Amino acid sequence: GQQLNQSPQSMFIQEGEDVSMNCTSSSIFNTWLWYKQDPGEGPVLLIALYKAGELTSNGRLTAQFGITRKDSFLNISASIPSDVGIYFCAGFYNNNDMRFGAGTRLTVKP
Protein backbone atom coordinates (compact mmCIF):
# COMPACT_ATOMS: atom_id res chain seq x y z
CA GLY A 1 0.00 0.00 0.00
CA GLN A 2 1.10 3.56 0.62
CA GLN A 3 4.05 2.71 2.85
CA LEU A 4 7.32 4.62 2.77
CA ASN A 5 10.57 2.74 3.28
CA GLN A 6 13.30 5.03 4.50
CA SER A 7 16.96 4.08 4.64
CA PRO A 8 19.35 3.91 6.24
CA GLN A 9 17.81 3.63 9.68
CA SER A 10 20.83 5.35 11.25
CA MET A 11 24.12 6.88 10.18
CA PHE A 12 27.30 7.73 12.08
CA ILE A 13 29.55 10.10 10.17
CA GLN A 14 32.51 12.38 10.70
CA GLU A 15 32.05 16.15 10.56
CA GLY A 16 32.65 17.38 7.03
CA GLU A 17 31.41 14.23 5.32
CA ASP A 18 28.51 14.21 2.87
CA VAL A 19 25.35 12.28 3.74
CA SER A 20 22.76 10.62 1.56
CA MET A 21 19.47 9.04 2.55
CA ASN A 22 16.44 7.90 0.58
CA CYS A 23 12.81 7.00 0.73
CA THR A 24 11.03 4.51 -1.54
CA SER A 25 7.54 3.19 -2.01
CA SER A 26 5.76 0.66 -4.16
CA SER A 27 3.06 3.32 -4.74
CA ILE A 28 3.22 6.58 -6.64
CA PHE A 29 3.40 9.72 -4.50
CA ASN A 30 2.54 13.16 -5.84
CA THR A 31 4.55 15.27 -3.41
CA TRP A 32 7.61 14.48 -1.30
CA LEU A 33 8.63 16.33 1.84
CA TRP A 34 11.71 16.12 4.03
CA TYR A 35 11.59 17.05 7.72
CA LYS A 36 14.26 17.27 10.42
CA GLN A 37 13.53 16.56 14.06
CA ASP A 38 15.93 17.79 16.73
CA PRO A 39 15.99 15.75 19.95
CA GLY A 40 12.87 16.41 22.03
CA GLU A 41 11.34 18.77 19.47
CA GLY A 42 8.77 18.62 16.69
CA PRO A 43 9.80 18.00 13.06
CA VAL A 44 10.61 21.05 10.95
CA LEU A 45 9.97 21.11 7.22
CA LEU A 46 13.23 21.34 5.24
CA ILE A 47 12.30 20.83 1.60
CA ALA A 48 9.11 20.18 -0.38
CA LEU A 49 9.15 18.62 -3.87
CA TYR A 50 6.15 18.86 -6.17
CA LYS A 51 7.21 17.51 -9.58
CA ALA A 52 8.82 14.29 -10.74
CA GLY A 53 12.49 14.91 -11.45
CA GLU A 54 12.58 18.11 -9.39
CA LEU A 55 15.85 18.90 -7.67
CA THR A 56 15.67 21.48 -4.86
CA SER A 57 18.32 22.88 -2.55
CA ASN A 58 18.13 24.53 0.84
CA GLY A 59 21.63 25.58 1.87
CA ARG A 60 23.74 22.43 2.22
CA LEU A 61 20.69 20.24 1.69
CA THR A 62 19.59 18.95 -1.70
CA ALA A 63 16.56 16.76 -2.33
CA GLN A 64 15.26 15.12 -5.46
CA PHE A 65 11.84 13.80 -6.48
CA GLY A 66 12.45 10.55 -8.36
CA ILE A 67 11.37 10.25 -11.98
CA THR A 68 9.23 7.20 -11.22
CA ARG A 69 7.46 9.19 -8.44
CA LYS A 70 8.13 6.27 -6.13
CA ASP A 71 11.24 7.61 -4.45
CA SER A 72 13.07 10.64 -3.14
CA PHE A 73 16.61 11.38 -1.98
CA LEU A 74 18.08 13.83 0.50
CA ASN A 75 21.75 14.79 0.46
CA ILE A 76 23.57 16.85 3.07
CA SER A 77 26.95 18.20 2.09
CA ALA A 78 29.84 19.01 4.43
CA SER A 79 28.00 17.91 7.59
CA ILE A 80 28.34 19.87 10.82
CA PRO A 81 27.48 18.87 14.42
CA SER A 82 24.11 20.67 14.37
CA ASP A 83 22.97 18.39 11.53
CA VAL A 84 22.39 15.76 14.24
CA GLY A 85 18.78 14.64 14.47
CA ILE A 86 16.21 12.44 12.82
CA TYR A 87 15.33 13.08 9.18
CA PHE A 88 11.89 12.02 8.02
CA CYS A 89 10.60 11.72 4.52
CA ALA A 90 6.88 12.19 3.92
CA GLY A 91 4.75 11.90 0.84
CA PHE A 92 1.28 12.75 -0.33
CA TYR A 93 -0.48 10.22 -2.50
CA ASN A 94 -3.48 12.50 -2.71
CA ASN A 95 -4.14 16.03 -1.47
CA ASN A 96 -4.73 15.20 2.15
CA ASP A 97 -3.24 11.77 2.80
CA MET A 98 0.33 12.11 3.98
CA ARG A 99 2.53 9.20 5.01
CA PHE A 100 5.82 9.30 6.90
CA GLY A 101 8.93 7.19 6.67
CA ALA A 102 10.36 5.73 9.87
CA GLY A 103 13.22 8.23 9.89
CA THR A 104 17.01 8.24 9.53
CA ARG A 105 18.87 9.02 12.75
CA LEU A 106 22.03 11.02 11.96
CA THR A 107 24.97 11.30 14.35
CA VAL A 108 27.86 13.59 13.44
CA LYS A 109 31.16 13.15 15.24
CA PRO A 110 33.24 16.32 15.60
Partner 1 sequence: DGGITQSPKYLFRKEGQNVTLSCEQNLNHDAMYWYRQDPGQGLRLIYYSQIVNDFQKGDIAEGYSVSREKKESFPLTVTSAQKNPTAFYLCASSINRLDAYNEQFFGPGTRLTVL
Site residues for partner 1 per CB under 8 A: 6, 30-31, 33, 35, 40-45, 48, 50, 88, 90, 92, 95-96, 98, 100-103, 105
- Looking at beta carbons only, is 35 or 73 nearer to partner 1? 35
Separation in Å, CA 77 to CA 13, 16, 83: 12, 8, 10
Shortest Å distance, C-beta 37 to partner 1: 8
User: What are 84's strand-pairing partners?
Assistant: none
- Looking at beta carbons only, is 39 or 110 nearer to partner 1? 39
